[in-house]
A and B are shown apart, each in its own frame.
Chain A
Amino acid sequence: MSRTSDAATPSTDAHLALADGCLIASHRLSEWMSNAPTMEEDVALGNIALDLLGQARGLLQAIAEDTGRTEDDLAYFREAQEFRNPLICELPNGDFGHTILRQFFVDAWLADVWPALAGDPTVDPRVRGVAEKAVKENAYHLRHSSTWVLRLGDGTDESHRRMTTALDALWPYRGEIASDAWYARVEPILAEATLDIPPRDAWTQRSSADGWHTEHLGYLLAEMQSLARAHPGATW
């Protein structure tokens, strides 16, 4: 039996996972606004957060269109267990090294996801359009996060210690974003940053596809959704 193409329905789990991943990663980065180590980095994290938000919106608009909802319904009126973002996206920021390593892992994931969608003619054209743009944006984000991982990993004793701590904390959350291509992208940078590469077969979390999340997502959503829920239907 041949499998029929589902190209006409972008509201697949994979697209929702991608949209939610971008949305939640964007929100976490936006928490740094006015708090980043330097003004330039404040601007950088803000720019990356905006790109991710725009990418999320493009996907959510397509999914909303197909399911009779709006992008705001999806962003502001779903509960934590309805979100499908990879768990790593929702982890709290920690220190700057922790944030930038988390973003590096996410950027390295998207570096495979976007080109694959952009180059696949069977993918819904709306999703492909978002991907085509995102390929270039993400390449720039990955350059930025890789630069910081190198600088901090191979930096001072203190920055190296903090990056090692971040790596230990984040590695168990790679399960939903890691692939052979991901490892091939991430490991050389970690090595050049003089960080010990943890084993590929080490234990990992992978549960967002079933709607299980860390305790952190609920708090994030409480902040992100509060305005829309306090004033339903408000526009400006």
Chain B
Amino acid sequence: MTASTRSRAWALLEAVPDPEIPVVSVVDLGIVRAVDESADGRAVTVTLTPTYSGCPATDVIARDVKAALEAAYDDVRVETQRSPAWTTDWLSDAGRERLQTFGIVPPAGRKQLPLLVEERPAACPRCGSDGVEELAHFGSTPCKALWRCTSCREPFDYMKRH
């Protein structure tokens, strides 16, 4: 494999959006664990790690990844690898910024903390106030919780540290 073809695969993957949060790509999410090309550069195997066990987007992502790479490869295989388990520490810096701009507060901090340490978004993504409160443990996708700003009163999504 040459550096140029390898970067071609990654470039294609960077254009595959998360189906639920299309502002970030599957690469931003940190779920692409490996890209292996065959010696002749015609086949590629992509290894994905699911975010949550039951996330309905997982199957869609595998399908989208396959479709995107089929533009450049004759044979595309998508494999699932559960261990090590995905963590929000794997979100890229660019991904975190895009989430924030989109109105979803990225997980507080990068360091893994012991489970169930109380966590909170630093500020409202709309008005910047640090007065925020949790409305619900669970949100519209498995990775998010629902919070509200106590200043501007707008509800917003928070991507849970996981």
Contact = CB atoms under 8 A, between A and B. Distances in A.
Interface of A: 40, 43-44, 46-55, 57-58, 125-126, 128-130, 132-137, 139-140, 143-144, 147
Interface string B25-62: 00000000000000000000000001011111000000
Which of A51, A126, A130, A136 has the most B CB atoms < 10 Å from its CB? A136
Majority secondary structure of chain B interface residues (helix, strand, loop or mixed): loop
B80 to A, nearest CB: 9
B142 A139 contact: no
B53 A51 contact: yes
Contacts of B160: 140
A44 B162 contact: no
Interface in B97-141: 115-116, 135-140
Contacts of B54: 49-55, 57
A139 B116 contact: yes
Contacts of B156: none
Given A47-B142, A137-B52, 17 more contacts: A40-B138, A40-B146, A48-B138, A50-B54, A54-B53, A54-B55, A57-B53, A126-B82, A128-B83, A129-B81, A132-B82, A132-B83, A132-B85, A133-B86, A136-B115, A139-B116, A143-B116
Nearest to B160: A140
